[in-house]
Chains A and B, each alone.
Chain A
Amino acid sequence: MKILVAVKRVIDYNVQIRVKEDGTGVVTDNVKMSSNPPDDNAIEEAVKIKESGKASEIIAITVGEEKSQETVRKALAVGADRGILVKAEGIIEPLAVAKVLQKIVDKEKPDLVFMGKQAIDDDCNQTGQMLSALLNWPQATFASKIEIKDKALEVTREIDEGLETIEVNIPAIVTCDLRLNEPRYASLPNIMKAKKKPLEILNASDLGVDTAPRVQQIKVEEPPKRKAGIKVANVAELVNKLKNEAKVI
C-alpha cells in the first residue's frame, strides 16, 4: 500500500500574526515558518502504518514556493520515503491544491491520501473534501483514530456531538485531527538521511493546473481590540448586564 501525505508550510503557531499596514495580507517577512501541525499528525500516522508493515511507501507532497521544500524535508526526516514539491506562487486556494493533488494521485496511484484536517493559516478545511469530490473517493475527515481493515479503513471522527466511527473503502482520503497521535521528533541522523532522500520538483503549470485564485481578497484587518473586563457584584447584576447592556440573553 502506498500513502500520499500532503503537507503545508505555514507561519509557526507561536508567532504573533501581524496584519500588513495596507491590508493586503499578513506579514510573512522575518517570520518563523513551520509545518502545519495537523499535517505532522498525518505524516506520523502514515509512518506508523508503514512501521506496522501495512504500507510500503510514503510520499510527502507540498504545493507552494521553493522554500516549502523545508516542510517536505521535515516529513522525510520523520519517515516519508520521498518527496514532491509542486511549485506555485502567490495565494494558492484549496481548489488549486486539490487539483494538483488529483494530478499527482493519477500519476502515483496511492491507496490512501492523508493530510491535516485544516491549515492553521487560512483555516479553510476544504482541500481533503475537494480532492475527495474530484477523485470520487470516499473521505474520512477529522480522524482521531484509524484502523486498517481488509480493503477498508475504520476511522473515528471528532465531531461536535462526540466521536463518530465510520468505515470507508480504500482508496480513500483521510484528514487528520491533532488527537490522532503524538508526532515524533526528527532525530539528528534521520535529518541527515533526509537530505539524501529523493525530492522531485514540478511546476503546477506543467501539470496543467491553473493555480490563480478564484476568490478575490478585498481586505485583511485585525479583529477589534477587546475591551477590558469589569467585575460584577453578584449574579443578578451579571444577568441584568447580559440582558440589557450586552443584549445576548
Chain B
Amino acid sequence: MPREAMDYDVVIVGGGPSGLSTAIKLKQLDPELNVCLLEKASEIGAHILSGNVFETRALDELFPNWKDLNTPIKTKVSKEKFLFLSKTKSLSWPTWLLPSVQQNHKNYIISLANLCRWLAEQAEALGVEIFPGFPASEILYNEDGSVKGVATQDMGIDKDGNKKESYEPGIELNGKVTVFAEGCRGHLGKELIKKFELDKGKDPQQYGIGFKEIWEVADDKHEEGMVMHTAGWPLDNNTYGGSFIYHAENKQIFLGYVIGLDYKNPYLSPFDEFQRFKTHPAIKKIIEGGKRISYGARALIEGGLQSLPKMYMPGALLVGCDAGTLNMPKIKGSHTAMKSGMIAAETIFEHLKNNNNLSVYENKFKNSWVYKELYQARNVKPSFSWGLILGIIFTGLDQILFRGKLPLTLKHKHADHETLKSAKSMPKIDYPKPDNIITFDKTSSVYLTGTNHTDNQPVHLKLKDPNLPINYTLEKFDEPAQRYCPVGVYEVQKENGINKFVINSQNCIHCKTCDIKEPSQNITWVTPEGGGGPKYGNM
C-alpha cells in the first residue's frame, strides 16, 4: 500500500533550538511558506536536555523584543566560580583569569526544554505546523539523488515486525527543502553525512556524554544566578570532562557532568564518575539535605570547526548539532544552533525565491559570528588530548593571550569509537555503592526520566552482528556498553553458564552514546515508535 504523502515548502526534522529557529525565521521572512516540523518526543521539549547557561545573541536577533514576550528566561547569572578539584580539596580559580569565552555575567540560567516549548508556541502562532510524537524514520530521495523529504515511522508494528490491529502507516512529507535538526548524532543526519560524503577532508567528529540532575535544595544552600564549573577529580589527567552547577529559579540546582567520549579505559563508567563527583565535599555540601527530582543524559558534539561537515546537499541542509555547531570552550551550543537555523532559513528563503543554490549556506555561515566563535575556539578541545594540565596551559595561552588567533589548527586524530584500549591493559575501576541520598543507581535514575516505549515493538537499537558483543567485545573490552549507557539498557547476563547480551530498549533515553562509542560501530540507534523515550520536564 503506498503511503499517504503531503507536500510542504520546507520540512524540518527535530524540534530543538536549531529546528524551531529555522521554522520561526522562515515564517518571519515569508508568512506564506508552508512549513512543518516533526518531533519524535511526545511533546516539544520532552527530549531536550542541556545545562543551560544561555547566551541570548541569536535570540536577540530572532526576537529583538523577547524581554517583553514572557519567555522562560528569568535568571540572570549573578556570580561565577571555577574550581579545580582534588579528591578532598578544591582550589578556586579567579574568574578574571578565565578566558573571556568562559565568562557568563551577561548570560542567563535557563531550562532549554522550556525555551523550546516557548519557541514552539511562537512558531505555531506564526503558522508552523508542529507534529510531536512523529519521528522521521527514513529519508526520501528524488530520482536525481537529491533529498525529497522524509517519511514518518509506521505505528503499531509488533516486535517481530508484523502489523498490529492498531497499525497506522507512516506519512511521506515532501519538502522543496528538508532541514535536518535532530541534534547530536541524528540518525538521519548520520546517513546523509555518509551518503553525500559531507565529512570528506574533515577530522573525525568528537563527542561527549552529558549528565544532568535537578535538585531541589533548602533556601540557605541556594544562590539564584550562581554558576559554578569544576575540572579535575574524579577524572584522571587523561580523561576530558568537568561539571556544572547552576543555581536556577525555584530553589532548583541544575547539576551535571560532561565526559569526553574519547576516554580510553573500557572500565570507565561515565554514570558512576558523575555519581562519585557528587560526593566531593565542595559539591556534597550544596545538595546535602536536598532532593533529586530529575535525571537525564544526552551525547553532545565536541569536535568544533575541524569536524564540522559540509552543511548543505541537494535538497537539504543540516543545522545545529546535527552538523555540530557547539562551541566547546564556551560549553554552549544553543545560541550557535539557533543562529545556524536562522542562516539556513535565509538561505532557503532566497533559494525558493530566486532559485539560489543551497551552497550559499556555506558562505553565509562563514560570514556569521558563529563561524568566528568556532574558529577562535577550535584549538581548545584537541589540546586536551595531551592531558588536563597541558590542555589548560595551552588553552590559557591560546584563549587569553592570543584570543584564539594562533596561526595553527590542531587536529582531532581519532573517532571516539577507536580510542578504547583492551580491557586487559587497563585498570579496573572500583566505584562506590550508591547511598541513595547523594548518589544513586541507574535503575532509580531512569525512573525519574519518565521513559517509556510501547511494549511489543521492534527493538530500536540494532546490532549489525548480533554475536559480536559476546564473541568479541566482551572478551576484548569487557563489553563497555554495560557502562557507557547512562540507563543500563545493555546487560551481559549469564544463563546456564552461557553469556547473553540483553538490550532493555524500553529504558533508552535517546542519548545516542552507544551509537557513538561502540568500538566496532556495531550498534545503530533507529527511531522507536512515536512518543517513546524520556518525558523530561524542565531539563
List residues of chain A with CB under 8 Å of any chain B CB.
12, 14-16, 18, 21, 29-32, 34, 182-185, 187-189, 191-192
Cα of A21 to Cα of B46 in the assembled complex, Å: 24
A32-B46, A188-B152 given; A182·B166 CB < 8 A: yes
Contact present for B156 and A31 (CB under 8 Å): no
- Minimum Cβ distance to chain A for residue B8 (Å): 12
Interface string of B132-157 (1 = CB under 8 A from A): 00100000000000000000100110
User: Is B310 in the interface zone, CB < 8 Å from A?
Assistant: no
Give me 14 other A-B pairs in contact (C-beta within 8 A), A15-B535, A182-B166 excluded. A14-B450, A16-B447, A29-B537, A30-B113, A30-B538, A32-B450, A32-B537, A182-B164, A184-B166, A185-B156, A185-B166, A187-B168, A187-B171, A189-B6
Contact present for B155 and A185 (CB under 8 Å): yes
* Number of CB contacts from chain A to chain B under 8 A: 53
Contact present for A14 and B451 (CB under 8 Å): yes
Residues of B close to A187: CB separation below 8 A: 168, 171
Closest 9 CB pairs of A and B: A30-B537, A30-B538, A14-B452, A32-B535, A14-B450, A185-B155, A185-B168, A188-B171, A15-B450
30 contacting pairs across A/B (C-beta < 8 A): A12-B42, A14-B450, A14-B451, A14-B452, A15-B535, A16-B447, A29-B538, A30-B113, A30-B537, A30-B538, A32-B43, A32-B46, A32-B535, A32-B537, A34-B42, A182-B164, A182-B165, A184-B168, A185-B155, A185-B166, A185-B168, A187-B168, A187-B171, A188-B6, A188-B131, A188-B152, A189-B4, A189-B6, A189-B171, A192-B129
Cα of A18 to Cα of B129 in the assembled complex, Å: 33
Cα of A187 to Cα of B131 in the assembled complex, Å: 10
Secondary structure of the B contact surface, majority rule: mixed
- Minimum Cβ distance to chain A for residue B294 (Å): 9
Residues of B close to A14: CB separation below 8 A: 450-452, 535
Query: Per a CB cutoff under 8 Å, which of A16, A184, A188 touches B448?
Result: A16
Cα of A34 to Cα of B535 in the assembled complex, Å: 11
Residues of A close to B390: CB separation below 8 A: none
- From 2 to 32 in chain B, residues with beta carbon under 8 angstroms from any chain A beta carbon are 4, 6
Residues of A close to B43: CB separation below 8 A: 32
Contact present for A30 and B156 (CB under 8 Å): no
- Minimum Cβ distance to chain A for residue B304 (Å): 32
- Minimum Cβ distance to chain A for residue B437 (Å): 12
Cα of A31 to Cα of B113 in the assembled complex, Å: 12
**Considering residues A12, A32, A189, A192, which has the most beta carbons from chain B within 10 angstroms of its beta carbon?**
A32
User: Is B265 in the interface zone, CB < 8 Å from A?
Assistant: no
Residues of B close to A32: CB separation below 8 A: 42-43, 46, 450, 535, 537
Residues of A close to B334: CB separation below 8 A: none
- From 46 to 94 in chain B, residues with beta carbon under 8 angstroms from any chain A beta carbon are 46
Cβ-closest chain B residue relative to A225? B436
**Considering residues A182, A187, A188, A192, which has the most beta carbons from chain B within 10 angstroms of its beta carbon?**
A188
- From 362 to 419 in chain B, residues with beta carbon under 8 angstroms from any chain A beta carbon are none
User: Is B114 in the interface zone, CB < 8 Å from A?
Assistant: yes
- From 426 to 455 in chain B, residues with beta carbon under 8 angstroms from any chain A beta carbon are 447-448, 450-452
Residues of B close to A21: CB separation below 8 A: 216
Contact present for A18 and B293 (CB under 8 Å): yes
Residues of B close to A29: CB separation below 8 A: 537-538
Cα of A189 to Cα of B5 in the assembled complex, Å: 9
Cβ-closest chain B residue relative to A44? B166
Residues of A close to B152: CB separation below 8 A: 188
Residues of A close to B451: CB separation below 8 A: 14
Cβ-closest chain B residue relative to A191? B131
Cα of A29 to Cα of B131 in the assembled complex, Å: 22
Contact present for B535 and A12 (CB under 8 Å): yes
Cα of A210 to Cα of B270 in the assembled complex, Å: 55
Residues of A close to B168: CB separation below 8 A: 184-185, 187
Query: Per a CB cutoff under 8 Å, which of A31, A185, A189 touches B537?
Result: A31
Cβ-closest chain B residue relative to A18? B293
Contact present for A12 and B450 (CB under 8 Å): yes
Residues of A close to B537: CB separation below 8 A: 15, 29-32
- Minimum Cβ distance to chain B for residue A79 (Å): 13
Residues of B close to A34: CB separation below 8 A: 42
Cβ-closest chain B residue relative to A34? B42
- Minimum Cβ distance to chain B for residue A82 (Å): 21
- Minimum Cβ distance to chain A for residue B324 (Å): 29
Cα of A79 to Cα of B414 in the assembled complex, Å: 53
- From 276 to 308 in chain B, residues with beta carbon under 8 angstroms from any chain A beta carbon are 293
- Minimum Cβ distance to chain A for residue B179 (Å): 18
Cα of A224 to Cα of B530 in the assembled complex, Å: 36
Cα of A188 to Cα of B152 in the assembled complex, Å: 9
Cβ-closest chain A residue relative to B152? A188
Cα of A191 to Cα of B530 in the assembled complex, Å: 14
Cα of A34 to Cα of B293 in the assembled complex, Å: 20
- Minimum Cβ distance to chain B for residue A220 (Å): 16
Cα of A184 to Cα of B156 in the assembled complex, Å: 9
Residues of B close to A182: CB separation below 8 A: 164-166
Cβ-closest chain A residue relative to B214? A30
Cβ-closest chain A residue relative to B46? A32
Cα of A192 to Cα of B134 in the assembled complex, Å: 13
- From 447 to 469 in chain B, residues with beta carbon under 8 angstroms from any chain A beta carbon are 447-448, 450-452
Residues of A close to B447: CB separation below 8 A: 16
Residues of B close to A189: CB separation below 8 A: 4, 6, 171
Cβ-closest chain A residue relative to B451? A14
- Minimum Cβ distance to chain A for residue B453 (Å): 10
Cβ-closest chain B residue relative to A190? B168
Cα of A18 to Cα of B448 in the assembled complex, Å: 10
Interface string of B153-196 (1 = CB under 8 A from A): 00110000000111010010000000000000000000000000
Residues of B close to A192: CB separation below 8 A: 129
- Minimum Cβ distance to chain B for residue A48 (Å): 11
Cβ-closest chain B residue relative to A183? B166
Residues of B close to A16: CB separation below 8 A: 447-448, 450
Residues of A close to B165: CB separation below 8 A: 182
- Minimum Cβ distance to chain B for residue A9 (Å): 13
Cα of A188 to Cα of B5 in the assembled complex, Å: 11
Residues of B close to A184: CB separation below 8 A: 166, 168
Cβ-closest chain A residue relative to B454? A185
Cα of A10 to Cα of B341 in the assembled complex, Å: 34
- From 87 to 126 in chain B, residues with beta carbon under 8 angstroms from any chain A beta carbon are 111, 113-114
Cα of A12 to Cα of B452 in the assembled complex, Å: 11
Cα of A188 to Cα of B164 in the assembled complex, Å: 18
Cα of A12 to Cα of B134 in the assembled complex, Å: 18
Residues of B close to A31: CB separation below 8 A: 537
Cα of A122 to Cα of B450 in the assembled complex, Å: 19
Cα of A188 to Cα of B531 in the assembled complex, Å: 13
- Minimum Cβ distance to chain A for residue B72 (Å): 10
- Minimum Cβ distance to chain A for residue B159 (Å): 16
Cβ-closest chain A residue relative to B4? A189
Residues of A close to B155: CB separation below 8 A: 185
Cα of A188 to Cα of B149 in the assembled complex, Å: 15
